Structure 1
């Protein structure tokens, strides 16, 4: 039986995959959502002064994320094929896993996710396609100097109605305010600064052996469609004999998890060929 292994993005956790995992299970498929190190129940909640309390993400790295996911992949692979799914920044993690152990993955799925082939993530920052609603939101969310803290710390819920409205438009324009607040309350405060630029970049000899699908979220204002298309084009240029299969879902960045059925249908559709 196929197992879908679901990897979350920045500041997120396995809980956000709950509706998708439930949808897959109710259709008769195995699904497991992974909490990356320092996230979910493994997160250290800042205690005391929110701006200065030590961060549990200090010292966390790409290597730790990859090790955690590979452990799950090895266990799942004993029971049949594995589809590895990454959302948003989770794309970096699934790329690194496929680079490290392509034999453990039967299909990669990027859901409006980072897939860096023409360089590491820094090569894509600042390019015109990357301009998004997040650019003006992050400075309003970050509560302290990341360099001093050793991690990125944000305050998702503030007494700032305008900020909440802007977050709604950027992250979940096709959801309700209650759904947004529920998602934000489940977000972690901290995220690691450390990314291994080479590990998360497509290695054609390994990553290129694994079939891969890109799920474009066409109403995404955090990961613009132009950037999603750039990821696909660069990967196809790097691995021309194994191009992306591309499918579209007309939803927002977080809408794919609040309204899971379209993604579940596409994931199940992969098994039919």
Structure 2
């Protein structure tokens, strides 16, 4: 029976990010479902101050619906989707970037719902919590400070992460493009940027949410390396692969590689769909 691909977005993204990929998967004969995690998609908040002309002072204080959303909420939402999807056959769950922590937490809780886990340059907390990986040598080349001008509010005060993706500041736009989507045209970059939502939740998980050998470690899993990813360098991707193999040597990662920045694989979808389609035959 053909599996259903369940696609889970990263930070500030939503199910809309997967529209081109879903179209290509469908043309290849594959079923797919794109998930909006709580506070995402049509449940997201777009304050009036975010519209043009922007009111940056008001944007810094406007409440957002994603405040208080936790990793446990995300995992529970994904589990509910998988309980429905598996009524129709096997399920391959694909997570990108920050979605990896949701996949990990959900697989820790309900490994029976996953026929395969697929991490596309996605965080998989193993030896450390996700936030602590940023202090490791593999992330030393990532200029996180370059994104500071895009931050629209104090997370501690607002209770969420808010980014002004509608800024017109050329230096800020160049920094964002360089980190996430340097390998496409400026027009494609701006188009993708306008699919993002301003708010993301603060919960990156704790040590209790790290991958567990007895549950998460029993599920077949694939790591798709993105060769040109600057925001999660190959050194960090390979470290997560190595740590996963050390945790469950009897169930190592199946490793694939796409030539892509952090986001281009969602634009140049033919190689992506072909790579995912190959997993359906495993």
Give the TM bin, normalised by the shorter chain.
over 0.9
Contact 2:26 2:32 (C-alpha < 8 Å) held by counterparts: yes
2:130 counterpart of 1:129 = no
1:65 alignment partner, SS class: helix
Contact 1:4 1:83 (C-alpha < 8 Å) held by counterparts: yes
Partner of 2:94: 85
Q: Structure 1, unaligned stretches of length 5 or more? A: none
Partner of 1:260: 269
1:270 offset after TM fit, Å?
Answer: 1.0
1:158-237 matched pairs, under 5 angstroms: 158-237=167-246
1:84 alignment partner, SS class: strand
Contact 1:131 1:224 (C-alpha < 8 Å) held by counterparts: no
Partner of 1:57: 66
Q: State how many pairs are aligned.
A: 273
1:23-172 matched pairs, under 5 angstroms: 23-48=24-49, 49-172=58-181
2:18 counterpart of 1:12 = no
Q: TM-score w.r.t. structure 2 length? A: 0.93
Q: Is the alpha carbon distance of 1:246 and 1:201 closer, same or farther for their aligned partners in structure 2, counting shifts above 3 Å?
A: same
- Give me the whole-angstrom Cα distance separating, in 1, the residues matched to 2:261 and 2:141: 13
- Give me the whole-angstrom Cα distance separating, in 2, the residues matched to 1:218 and 1:236: 20
1:199 offset after TM fit, Å?
Answer: 4.9
Contact 2:226 2:260 (C-alpha < 8 Å) held by counterparts: yes
1:272 offset after TM fit, Å?
Answer: 2.2
Contact 1:153 1:191 (C-alpha < 8 Å) held by counterparts: yes
1:261 alignment partner, SS class: helix
1:20 offset after TM fit, Å?
Answer: 1.3
Q: TM-score w.r.t. structure 1 length? A: 0.96
Q: Structure 2, unaligned stretches of length 5 or more? A: 50-57
Q: Which range moves more in the overlay, 238-247 or 171-180?
A: 171-180
Q: Which range moves more in the overlay, 226-235 or 193-202?
A: 193-202
CA deviations over 1:221-263 (Å, ceiling 9, x no partner): 1111111011111111111110101111111111010111111
Contact 2:147 2:176 (C-alpha < 8 Å) held by counterparts: no
Contact 2:101 2:205 (C-alpha < 8 Å) held by counterparts: no
2:209 alignment partner, SS class: coil
